[in-house]
Chain A
Amino acid sequence: MATETTTEQVPLPPMSRVGFFRWMWRQLTSMKTALILLFLLALASVPGSVIPQRGINPILVDEWLTDNPTWGPLLDTFGFFDVFAAPWFAAIYILLFISLIGCVLPRLGVHWRAMRQPPPPAPRYLMRLGGETAEINEQPALILSRAEKYLHKDRWRVIRSGESWVAAEKGYLRETGNLVFHFSLILILFAVAYGGLFGWRGNVIVREGEGFSNTLTQYDAWSGGRLTSPDTLPAFSFTLEDFNVEFSRAESQRGAPQLFEADVSVVRPGESMAANERIEVNYPMTIESAKIFLVGHGYAPQFIIRDSTGNIVFDDAVVFLPQDGSFTSTGVIKVPDSTPQLGVRGIFLPTTALSEERGPFSSFPAPDDPSVFLGAWEGDLGLDSGIPQSVYTLDSESMEQLGLRALRPGETWELPGGAGSIEFVDFERWASFQIAADPGKEVALIASILAIAGLSLSLFIQRRRVWVKVRPNAATGGTTVEVAGLAKASGDDPKENVDELVKYLIGEAT
């Protein structure tokens, strides 16, 4: 095993270009380089856990950038907000894997040959290995046969040289395991890359009673790998029939969610009938390559808005986003069809509470005492400016505030100046789903299992050799038996094997 790199002075690189590259290659594939690259990998991962990351929390990244006007952009330039996709991070692991391949490939050949070779003959001065000597009153050949029998039974690979020695070796699987482990690391990297290139994920909010069909336009957010084609998304659709949620009312963990589940009727690709299924946290629904996860939920208060002439200009439930654990939720209604245009900012409180410093807030996530607090504006919503707007924010810059009002379900707010009315009808629930496909994950799992298996073989199996040497003892008429062993890994000791073998040889003789 080429585990020992020499600490001899590295020879000066030869002048020729080939020689130089060979020298570079040897440096890159040395154990010490692997060690240093592993360290760099660990070190390079640290900023990814300390500095907010775009992939995890883009909003926090933006806040960080605003709070640190000097450092922020500099860090941004060097990819610190997306460490695990940064070129310098990639450089480290790509070098590591080149080193890995360069290191492991040659060992494959060496190991292949070693596995097919018989154990080496006994060294001339066996006792220098610090073995045991015994006098046994028996013929040498008999003793060797017994040693052979014992070693075979103990799963050693054994060869014998006539009447003088037996050599045995075991633990070949150690190196096999080590190679399997390192190759499965390559396989894991491949699987991750494959999943990244061909996978996709999207998020969508669906109200109770509302449907979703799996096309790009229906998603609130969608991202795919470089080689993913959005045309090949599995063609399914589902309707959120019912959404159940329960919150703890026990004093110790008031308001903690205890259960949430979505009952959906789903039409799978190629089918025309809908089937009823349930999606829960930890229990996603699988459709072909895609998995549908329940990731969040909230309230959608329902409003009817009439204009000054009494015509209904808006009649729908509006998704409000939860702001805290008690589901104090905020949302916006935009009514472009009334003249003048109407905009409403609202807070929905499932369990209404008021305090001096916080104003209106929710004290419990379940709808024990629901209400909305609304602020209405009139004027230009700015929807025609061409700049895309979020449905969750209202740009009231060029609008005029009409007033504020709190409503309970069924109540109506007559807007001042005869501008119309807003009726808070009731509320619905919505659930948010993450839909994702990662075609590399099965391979990643298989490779991980291989990695653990290989690793265990490599760490728990010891590669050892033992020899038994026999010599007729003219003085006693018996046989002098020498038994010694050698461990290939530093720190390992074949003493137990030697002791047991000697005990067996003596024990059988008496």
Chain B
Amino acid sequence: MNINALVVDDSGIMRKLVMRSLKEAELASFIFTEAKDGMEGLEKFDPDKTDMMFVDWNMPNMNGIDFIKKVREAQKRYVPAVMITTESTMEKVEEALNEAGVDTFIVKPFTVDVLKSKLEPLFDKIAAAQQNGGGFFSKLANKLN
């Protein structure tokens, strides 16, 4: 499966690490687009092409939660959001899950195995969204999430 992944993190090193770990996980063939904050992420988000996003929480200009909320308004099909963050307190996790529709959380530092176990359940959603484009099932998944 080919996946267009948007990696949004203000740290260039973290973006490289996320991309390298995703390649090592061998879950899919990733095509990466990088952004250094939420503002740039919105510019680079393509509603027709972006399949998945990996987003840091704490960033300058626009944080990860606000970025995902904006994407949810602009998306044509459901785009799973993976938050990669140092935030691990329950209130914060709930805020992200409920308010912004984050699909899963990966707490830094993480291993390739953790990445695999967290991402595997999302791939069915991506496959369905890719198959249906902006169709009924994608819109339904969009609503349910």
The answer to whether A and B assemble together is no
Interface residue ranges, B against A (CB under 8 Å) = none
Interface residue ranges, A against B (CB under 8 Å) = none
